[in-house]
Amino acid sequence: MQALTDNFGRRITYLRLSLTDHCNLRCRYCMPEEAHGSGRVGRLTEEETVRLIGLFARMGVDKVRLTGGEPLLRRDLVTLAGAIAALPGVRDLSLSTNALLLEKNAAALAAAGVRRLNISLDSLHAERFADITGGGDLTAVLRGIEAARAAGMTPIKLNMVALNGINDDEITTMAEFAQARGLELRYIETMPVGGQGEWSMRHHLPAEQIMARLQRHFGSDLLPQHEGAGGPARMYRVGARGPRIGVISAVSRHFCASCNRVRLTAEGDLVLCLGNEHSVSLREPLRAGMDDAALCGLIRAAILRKPERHDFNAPQAAPLRPMYALGG
Ligand code: SAM
Ligand code: SF4
């Protein structure tokens, strides 16, 4: 079947699938303090989800990331992951998680076909971790990481949102933590979506400053890598055999020209760009009985609406969706 290509010649091969907008943490850059969540009523069922991902896979999407919200809150996660991994065309299934519930699920997820894992970890100090995440238990996350390693998942990437005046003194210790365990590490610049008021932008640490600190600490051991070219991360290796580390800057550095991804929310909205409210609901036509060919046509037409680039500073017709709702 013909590949999915947008109006700017970009081939869409990567889908981020949000399985829920609920979370068991309240990271301050991501979630409002008060409870929220759209409930299960509007959420795509397991069967609807697998059918839609199958259509994307037929049109050339070969990489799927399960995310949220916190995907481990879905009781059907393991069967859903297994069904998606088994779809013809899907060659790479990964999961983003805060790892709070990972310890008891890692082996089953690995067996279901989830090989690659991204784990959020912003601090190695228990109290600070709890403060950033709204009460998270660091020891549970560390046990989750060990369970994933024991299950043979690889690569395991840690995502650290670097926050000025909050955890920036841990930028290099996190690299050493990752190095000691054979993990990869990404430092993430905060984006102006979601979160508690102005908190995340108040503590915004530009990627240039993250890199300057790494360069000061590791000196000539910090070797630029070219494998990451095209994606949102600038990649380095610490020493010839050390861990790969990357700095992700969605705001201060555009990576839109090579963007190959779209997002599907738990309610079935196909979201074409992080920084623009361009979305198309797939749930209603699906539930109205639309057949596969017509759904593929709808998806193709939606992809043509993918904007050339994000602009977080431009006035938006509607507020941007936070990462927990979008599938970060
Ligand atoms: N709950 C899972 C987790 O935390 O890994 C998956 C969903 S979470 C929304 C995915 C990623 O989005 C996390 O690595 C988180 O750090 C990042 N994120 C959330 N809000 C952000 C923001 N305002 N700026 C930058 N990154 C953000
Ligand atoms: Fe939950 Fe992940 Fe957002 Fe933290 S970053 S509140 S773990 S969805």
Q: Is residue 6 domain-resident?
A: no
Report the pLDDT value the prediction gives residue 226, as an integer from 0 to 100.
75
Q: Is residue 198 domain-resident?
A: yes
Assess whether the C-beta atom of 31 lies below 6 angstroms from ligand 2. Answer: yes
Please identify, by atom number, the ligand 1 atom nearest to the C-alpha of residue 326: 9
Tell me the pLDDT tens digit for each residue of 199-252.
877 898 998 999 999 999 999 989 988 754 456 678 898 888 778 899 987 665
Predicted confidence band at 253 (pLDDT cuts at 50, 70, 90)? low
Report the pLDDT value the prediction gives residue 249, as an integer from 0 to 100.
78
Q: Which domain holds residue 151?
A: 14-326
pTM: 0.93
Q: Provide the 10 A C-beta neighbour count for residue 208.
A: 13
Q: Is residue 61 domain-resident?
A: yes
321 has a pLDDT exceeding 90: no
Report the pLDDT value the prediction gives residue 93, as an integer from 0 to 100.
98
The helix or strand, by DSSP H or E, that contains position 17, with its residue range, turns out to be strand 14-18
Question: What proportion of the chain, given as a percentage, has pLDDT over 90?
Answer: 67
How many domains does the chain fold into? 1
Going by the DSSP 8-state scheme, the letter that residue 239 receives in this structure is S
Assess whether the C-beta atom of 64 lies below 6 angstroms from ligand 2. Answer: no
Please identify, by atom number, the ligand 1 atom nearest to the C-alpha of residue 159: 14
Going by the DSSP 8-state scheme, the letter that residue 238 receives in this structure is E
d(CA 163, CA 206) in angstroms, rounded, equals: 9
Q: Whose CA is nearest to atom 25 of ligand 1?
A: 190
Pairing of strands 184-188, 244-248: parallel
Pairing of strands 222-224, 233-238: antiparallel
Q: Is residue 7 domain-resident?
A: no
Tell me what the mean pLDDT of segment 280-306 comes to: 95
Q: Is residue 5 domain-resident?
A: no
Please identify, by atom number, the ligand 1 atom nearest to the C-alpha of residue 18: 7
Indicate the average pLDDT of the chain. Answer: 89
> What angle in degrees, to the nearest 10, is found between the helix axes of 46-58 and 292-303?
70
Instruction: Give me the DSSP letters along 165-220.
Output: TTTGGGHHHHHHHHHHHT-EEEEE---SSSSSTTHHHHTB--HHHHHHHHHHHHGG
- 158 alpha carbon, closest ligand: 1
Q: How far apart are the first and last CA of the chain?
A: 28
Tell me the pLDDT tens digit for each residue of 12-58.
999 999 999 999 999 999 988 775 666 666 899 999 999 999 999 99
Report the pLDDT value the prediction gives residue 156, as an integer from 0 to 100.
97
Tell me what the mean pLDDT of segment 259-285 comes to: 89
d(CA 216, CA 171) in angstroms, rounded, equals: 11
Q: Is residue 110 domain-resident?
A: yes
Q: Is residue 19 domain-resident?
A: yes
Q: Is residue 259 domain-resident?
A: yes
CATH of the domain at 228: 3.20.20.70
18, 324, 326: which to mutate for ligand 2, most atoms within 8 A of CB? Answer: 324
Assess whether the C-beta atom of 20 lies below 6 angstroms from ligand 1. Answer: no
Tell me what the mean pLDDT of segment 164-184 comes to: 94
Total number of residues shown for the chain: 328
